[in-house]
């Protein structure tokens, strides 16, 4: 029976004496009709609460097996992040899995929206980006939708938990001034030179983290001039690389000081190998980087994406035209790139004024060559 909630009518579906799902409507009639449809669907489905007394990890294995051949390879590989690898099951690695053991051991019927929210918060605390957490959330939601269809649970608990939000207090854009960037490099170097080199590349080329993860040795070009080809992007949680965020590739010139750094990354690797890798030569993972470098402290409160902003601001201060910065960053419009001018303030004004003064200076007199 619907109940009044303020100016709305709330339809409620009870299973085994428990309210398993609700929805609010403008009229009592609409709420009553919704209750009737929901009850009919559950009666036809034959939901039995006792079927939910199965551990999440047991049903996950069955679900992944059924996904074979029914979804794309990329989707399936992303879904598999929910389960630990054989090495992780035996404890041979310290890498944390996406789905923690406390959640994997729960009976599917005991997983609530509160548990899902706690899981999401845990991933954010480990350094995963909100977009990455959302991708894992989609996989888990697909799993519980399957559980509903199979009669193990009455409702999908993921849908009752709000999507993850980045609760870290920070500004939209916090580039590092030159001196602070050098301090960050020195601090990160304490955790390892490889990570310091990585931060140097990110802070001077403006490439995104996902683009760095997918870059190959063949993307580092030295002739006719040092450049990085940015043609792939592989965010955390995706098994296959795709095109960059802009949908097209771009080239970013490499300053001379950065060439030896990239040569170190490329040393001993074939053209098809990953260029920017971790200390052990494996693919970059944000959570590992954040943990091993103590990034929250070493990065002076910045995010990894702020390194991209750092490169952009440095280019503008040095006098690189805004349209060129747009091309190097891969922005779809110069208006997006112009946001950096608001953050630079006086520094950008002084740089631009210097360019104007230089262009207004008298041209040098050319000597006449007598014949």
Q: Which residue has tokens 């030159």?
A: 178
Of the three residues 126, 160, 194, the one that is the final residue of a domain is 160
Q: Is 364 a member of any domain?
A: no
Domain count, the chain: 3
CA gap 25, 4 in Å, rounded: 10
Tell me, yes or no, whether 190 and 317 share the same domain.
Answer: yes
The model's pTM is 0.55
What is the sign of the dihedral through the CA atoms of 128, 311, 275 and 266?
negative
Q: Is 361 a member of any domain?
A: no
Q: Is 195 a member of any domain?
A: yes
Tell me, yes or no, whether 41 and 60 share the same domain.
Answer: no
The pLDDT, as a whole number, for residue 211 is: 94
Of the three residues 102, 134, 160, the one that is the final residue of a domain is 160
| Domain enclosing residue 86, as ranges | 56-160
Tell me, yes or no, whether 39 and 60 share the same domain.
Answer: no
Tell me, yes or no, whether 146 and 184 share the same domain.
Answer: no
Q: Is 167 a member of any domain?
A: no
The pLDDT, as a whole number, for residue 370 is: 39
CATH assignment of the domain containing 121: 1.10.150.130
Tell me, yes or no, whether 270 and 156 share the same domain.
Answer: no
Tell me, yes or no, whether 342 and 241 share the same domain.
Answer: yes
Tell me, yes or no, whether 239 and 345 share the same domain.
Answer: yes
Of the three residues 95, 128, 160, the one that is the final residue of a domain is 160
CATH assignment of the domain containing 280: 1.10.443.10
Tell me, yes or no, whether 37 and 64 share the same domain.
Answer: no
Q: What is the pLDDT along the chain (371 residues), one digit of tens a residue?
A: 788 888 888 888 776 666 667 788 889 888 888 788 777 766 665 556 667 789 999 999 999 998 988 888 878 888 888 887 654 443 333 446 789 999 999 999 889 889 999 999 888 888 777 878 888 999 999 999 898 888 788 788 998 888 887 554 444 688 888 899 999 999 999 999 999 999 999 999 999 999 999 999 999 999 999 999 999 998 876 667 888 877 789 999 999 999 999 999 999 999 999 999 999 999 999 889 999 999 989 999 899 999 999 999 999 988 899 999 999 999 988 888 888 877 776 555 555 556 566 666 554 444 443 33
CA gap 231, 212 in Å, rounded: 10
Tell me, yes or no, whether 7 and 60 share the same domain.
Answer: no
Tokens of 217: 């040795």
Question: Can the peptide bond before residue 224 be classed as cis, meaning omega within 30 degrees of 0?
Answer: yes
Residues 6+ apart with CB under 8 A from 312: 175, 206, 325, 329, 337, 340
CA gap 109, 155 in Å, rounded: 9
Tell me, yes or no, whether 139 and 191 share the same domain.
Answer: no
Tell me, yes or no, whether 290 and 202 share the same domain.
Answer: yes
Q: Is 367 a member of any domain?
A: no
The pLDDT, as a whole number, for residue 262 is: 97
Residues 6+ apart with CB under 8 A from 340: 173, 175, 309, 312, 313, 316, 325, 348
The pLDDT, as a whole number, for residue 149 is: 80
Q: Is 207 a member of any domain?
A: yes
Q: Is 362 a member of any domain?
A: no
The pLDDT, as a whole number, for residue 88 is: 44
Q: Is 371 a member of any domain?
A: no
The pLDDT, as a whole number, for residue 18 is: 62
Tell me, yes or no, whether 272 and 147 share the same domain.
Answer: no
């Amino acid at each position: 029976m619907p109940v009044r909630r303020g100016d709305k009518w709330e339809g409620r579906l009870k299973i085994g004496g428990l309210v398993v799902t609700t929805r609010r409507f403008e009229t009592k009639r609409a709420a009553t009709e919704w209750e009737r449809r929901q009850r009919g669907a559950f009666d036809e489905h034959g939901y039995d609460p006792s079927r939910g007394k199965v551990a999440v990890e047991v049903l996950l294995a069955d679900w992944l097996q059924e996904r074979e051949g029914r979804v794309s390879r990329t989707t399936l590989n992303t879904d598999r992040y929910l389960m630990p690898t054989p090495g992780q099951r035996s404890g041979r690695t310290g890498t944390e899995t996406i789905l923690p053991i406390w959640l994997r051991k729960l009976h599917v019927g005991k997983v609530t929206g509160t548990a899902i929210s706690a899981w999401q918060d845990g991933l954010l605390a480990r350094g995963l980006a909100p977009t990455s957490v959302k991708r894992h959330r989609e996989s888990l939601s697909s799993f519980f939708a399957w559980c509903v269809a199979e009669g193990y649970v009455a409702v999908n608990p993921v849908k009752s938990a709000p999507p993850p939000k980045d609760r870290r207090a920070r500004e939209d854009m916090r580039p590092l001034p030159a001196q602070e960037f050098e301090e960050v490099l020195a601090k990160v170097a304490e955790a390892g030179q490889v990570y310091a080199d990585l931060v140097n590349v990110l802070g001077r080329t403006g490439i995104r983290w996902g683009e760095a993860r997918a870059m190959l040795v063949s993307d580092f070009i030295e002739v006719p001039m040092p450049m990085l080809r940015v043609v792939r992007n592989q965010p955390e949680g995706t098994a296959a690389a795709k095109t960059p965020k802009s949908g097209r590739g771009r080239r970013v010139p490499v300053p001379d000081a950065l060439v030896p750094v990239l040569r170190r990354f490329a040393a001993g690797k074939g053209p098809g190998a990953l260029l920017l890798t971790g200390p052990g030569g494996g693919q970059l993972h944000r959570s590992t980087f954040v943990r091993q470098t103590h990034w929250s402290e070493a990065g002076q409160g910045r995010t990894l994406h702020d390194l991209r902003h750092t490169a952009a601001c440095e280019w503008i201060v040095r006098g690189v035209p805004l349209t060129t910065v747009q091309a190097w960053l891969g922005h779809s419009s110069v208006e997006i790139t112009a946001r950096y001018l608001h953050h630079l303030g006086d520094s950008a004004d002084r740089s631009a004024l210097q360019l104007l003064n230089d262009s207004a200076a008298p041209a040098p007199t050319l000597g006449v060559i007598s014949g």
